[in-house]
Amino acid sequence: MLSSFWRRYLDGIPEYLARNYWWAYLSPRGVWFFDHHLIINLILFGQYRAILAEVMRRYVGTQPARTLQLSCAYGALTPTLALAPNTRELHVADIAAIQLTATRKKLHAVSRSAAMVRMNAETLAYASNSFDSVILFFLLHELPAAARERTLREAIRVLRPGGHLLIAEYAENRGHHPLHRFTPWRWTQERLEPFLHDFWHSELHAQIHRYAVQQGKVLHPVDATTLFGGLYRVMEYHA
Ligand SMILES: C[S@@+](CC[C@H](N)C(=O)[O-])C[C@H]1O[C@@H](n2cnc3c(N)ncnc32)[C@H](O)[C@@H]1O
C-alpha cells in the first residue's frame, strides 16, 4: 500500500518524479512546506541568496531576452527574473500543475506574469532556436541520466545562436569538499535524491559540449562560479 502511494501523483507526471519526489514537489503539503525561504536556505546551507544572486548577476548582463525557465523552483527565482529589466518575455515550463499554480501566485504578488506551461522538459514543444536565455535551477540532479540527457539536448535545441544558457547546480563530487567526505550527510542526501550520486559523478560540461556539437552548435563556456567551497556551481554558456 505505502509502496504505491506515489502512484496517485502520476497523472501525466514522469514516474521518476512521482515515485521519488512526490513529497517535495507534488503533494500540497510538500509544496506548502518547502516553498519558504528558511527551508530552502537550510537545505542549501544558507547559500540560497548567493546562488540566486550569481544567476541574476550573469543574467542581467545579457541582451533583452525571451527567456525560458526550465521548471519551477522554490524561492524567488521566477519573480526575480520577471522583474529583471532585460526580461522581455518570460516562459516557465514545468510538468507539475501544482508547481505552476504556486509560481503564478508568486508572480501575481509582484504584479508580473509569464507564459506558464505544463510541459515535460525532456520533450519541449518550442521551436528550435527560439529563446535568448534558458535557465535551469537545480533541475538536472533530480533527473535520471537518460532524462537529464534529453532535457539538456532540448535546452540546447531551443537556445538561439547568440543565446545564453545558465545552470545552477551541485558541483561535481570529486571527494574534496568536507561534506562529500562526510558519509552521514552524503548517505542521507543520496537516499533523498536518488539521482544525485550519478549527477555528482557525471561530466556535465563534456556532455553539454557533446550535445551541442551533435546539433551543429558550439556553446562557449564562461568561467563557472563555485559556491560554498565547491558544493554548488553556476555555469554559463554562450551559444
Ligand atoms: C527545478 S527542480 C527545483 C529544485 C530545487 N529544489 C528548487 O526548488 O530550487 C523541481 C521542479 O522540477 C520539476 N520537474 C521535474 N522533472 C521535470 C520534467 N521532466 N519536466 C518539467 N519539469 C520537471 C518539478 O515539477 C519541480 O517543480
User: Is residue 23 included in any domain, yes or no?
Assistant: no
| CA 80 to centroid of chain Cα atoms | 15
Measured in residues, the chain has a length of 239
User: Is residue 119 included in any domain, yes or no?
Assistant: yes
The domain tally of the chain equals 1
Nearest residue (CA) to ligand 1, atom 25: 96
User: Is residue 4 included in any domain, yes or no?
Assistant: no
- Ligand 1 within 6 A of 137 CB? yes
- Ligand 1 within 6 A of 71 CB? yes
User: Is residue 16 included in any domain, yes or no?
Assistant: no
Ranges of the chain with pLDDT below 70: 1-2
- Ligand 1 within 6 A of 154 CB? no
- Ligand 1 within 6 A of 14 CB? yes
Q: Residue 94: phi, psi to the nearest 5?
A: -145, 150
User: Is residue 77 included in any domain, yes or no?
Assistant: yes
Distance 235 CA to ligand 1 centre (A): 18
User: Is residue 222 included in any domain, yes or no?
Assistant: yes
* Structural domain of 176: 28-238
- Ligand 1 within 6 A of 92 CB? no
Q: Residue 23: phi, psi to the nearest 5?
A: -70, -25
Nearest residue (CA) to ligand 1, atom 12: 71
Q: Residue 115: phi, psi to the nearest 5?
A: -80, 110
User: What's the pTM?
Assistant: 0.95
The letter for the amino acid at 113 is: S
Cβ neighbourhood burial of 13 (10 Å; 0-12, 13-18, 19+): buried
User: Is residue 202 included in any domain, yes or no?
Assistant: yes
pLDDT value of position 2: 52
- Ligand 1 within 6 A of 136 CB? no
- Ligand 1 within 6 A of 103 CB? no
pLDDT value of position 200: 95
User: Is residue 14 included in any domain, yes or no?
Assistant: no
End-to-end CA distance of the chain: 48
Look up the CATH number of the domain holding residue 45.
3.40.50.150
Distance 101 CA to ligand 1 centre (A): 14
